[in-house]
Amino acid sequence: MQTILVTGAGSGIGRATARAFLDAGWRVALAGRREAPLVETAQGNAQALVLPMDVTDAAAVEAGFARIASEWGRLDVLFNNAGIGLPSAPIDEIAIDDWRRLSAINIDGMFLCARAAFGLMRRQDPQGGRIINNGSISAHVPRWGSAPYTVSKHAVTGLTRALSLDGRRFNIACGQIDIGNALTEMVQQMTRGVPQANGEIAVEPVMDVAHVAASVLHMAELPLSANVQFMTVMATAMPFIGRG
């Protein structure tokens, strides 16, 4: 039975993806800071492993991956998903503490989980596995007032490229999914109106988060001899092509 760890599994994209993998017959480790939302995601499924874990805490991350190794013996896929955003604002209006909190989750957390997954996949027998990083449309082009988030998602792309190269000798594949306007709690604001590059506030098209979950499942189910290096899945008419 295939195994996957999903970070940020207590809500949004993480929850939808975790449930899609459970429905597909995978063993799914559900990682997040709070246990109760993870239990809600699991819905009592016997193949779900609830794994309360703060991705910014290196010791907690190592302990979480050690538990997966102990419980299952191996990890086939990491969906490196946990992340946050900030309200839109010019960079000089962004609090330093908010920048550091976002960076700790979106950059440090991604690095720590990828590091632990890489180490486990390198050591397990048979060797290898797959890391799927959650990027963003902002990994390509920014929104207005999004400097911290955009910086973090460009960092994710750098991590993806580096792991894709470093993982070759260990049969570890790494890809990235860049998502635009999937309707989750974090994106509800799109349906009410968000700042545009020309200064206007406009409602933006959104898509069902199930399409993201299906896309991640497709990436994960490929043999390790094949890899989706970068995938963009987005609401068709959202402002990305031509943005800015």
Catalytic residues: 149
Residue type, 57: D
Q: Hey, which residues does 207 pair with through a beta bridge? A: 182
Pairing of strands 201-202, 194-195: antiparallel
Task: Return the structure tokens found at 14.
Answer: 């993480």
181 touches 136 (CB < 8 A): no
> Would you say how long the chain is, in residues?
244
Query: How far, in Å, are 161, 177, 205 from residue 229 at the CA level?
Result: 9, 8, 26
Contacts of 234 (CB under 8 A, 6+ apart): 137, 178, 179, 180, 181, 207, 240
Tell me the two tokens of residue 115.
């590091």
CA-based nearest residue to 219, from 1, 11, 8, 24: 24
Question: How open is the CA angle 174-224-75, to the nearest 5 degrees?
Answer: 70
Q: What are the DSSP E strand ranges found in the chain? A: 3-7, 27-32, 48-52, 77-80, 129-134, 172-180, 194-195, 201-202, 230-234
